[in-house]
Amino acid sequence: MALELFDLKGKRALVTGSSQGIGLALAKGLAAAHAEVVLNGRDAVKLAAAADTIPGARILAFDATDHAAARAAVDRFEAETGPIDILVNNAGMQHRAPLEDFPEEAFQRLLQTNIASVFNVGQACARHMIARRAGKIINIASVQTALARPSIAPYTATKGAVGNLTKGMATDWARHGLQVNAIAPGYFDTPLNAALVADPAFSAWLEKRTPAGRWGKVEELVGACIFLASDASTFVNGHVLYVDGGITASL
């Protein structure tokens, strides 16, 4: 009986930024829990390749940073295919530079990709979820929601905003039957972190700094996602769940 709480059979999940990395891993995990998954990104070719790795996966290509495009795509999908029961706002990017030299255009891209996309797709899906009085939204935050490191101050600002936007979404939408939470990954071996993974000095620092003593594996985020997407978390709202090997717990 308890295990049935985690079964996503009959549910449909849209995962933004899911052609690779964390997004693709989460989509595969949700599919393994019996959800129908819908992959999103801007590159239809990459999405098609990713969809080939998940039986029954659908593709919904649109730019999550474009408010009108996101709303039009979600509205059209809901009308033509059916409800989106679960949204995972995963689209994100990184840019590293000393703060005093940080390019303004890179700062703007971070704001649009990491924050505006969460608002755009979250609002588009929530409007339908509110009408049904049910829905799950999971935003992908970061260990940088709580901590900072040199050369990524704007990224840290965006992920702090994701944490607080999650709380705001829950505050506004919980009364309509929605649960809105966030997963905050620590340091995971992903394409976004490829430069850091390839840096022996950084990896050595990370292994010392993290109580678990290693990089995370993207598959280790799946359990948290299934929990927050399922009936096991019906009274969890506005929560930021850190999956970080203990890095935020230890000085």
pLDDT in tens, 38-74: 999 999 999 999 999 999 999 999 999 999 999 999 9
The pTM (predicted TM-score) of the whole model is 0.97
The model's pLDDT over 74-127, given as tens digits with 9 standing for 90+, comes to 999 999 999 999 999 999 999 999 999 999 999 999 999 999 999 999 999 999
Q: How far apart are CA 83 and CA 130, in angstroms?
A: 12
Q: 221 pLDDT exceeds 70?
A: yes
pLDDT recorded at residue 74: 98
Contact yes or no for 68/42 (Cβ under 8 A):
no
Decide if 242 is catalytic. no
Q: Which of 62, 102, 107, 155 is catalytic?
A: 155
Residue 238 has pLDDT above 70, yes or no: yes
Side chain identity, residue 46: K
Smallest CA-to-CA distance from 12 within 76, 85, 62, 80 is with: 85
Q: Which domains does the chain have, with CATH numbers?
A: 3-243 (3.40.50.720)
- Burial 168-194, CB ≥16 within 10 A → b, else e: ebbeebeeeebbbbbbbbbbbbbebbe
Can you point out the beta strands (E) in the chain?
12-15, 36-39, 58-59, 86-89, 135-140, 178-185, 240-243
pLDDT in tens, 162-218: 999 999 999 999 999 999 999 999 999 988 888 899 999 999 999 999 999 999 999
pLDDT over threshold 80, residue 1: no
User: Virtual CA dihedral for 51, 54, 57, 62, nearest 10 degrees?
Assistant: -40
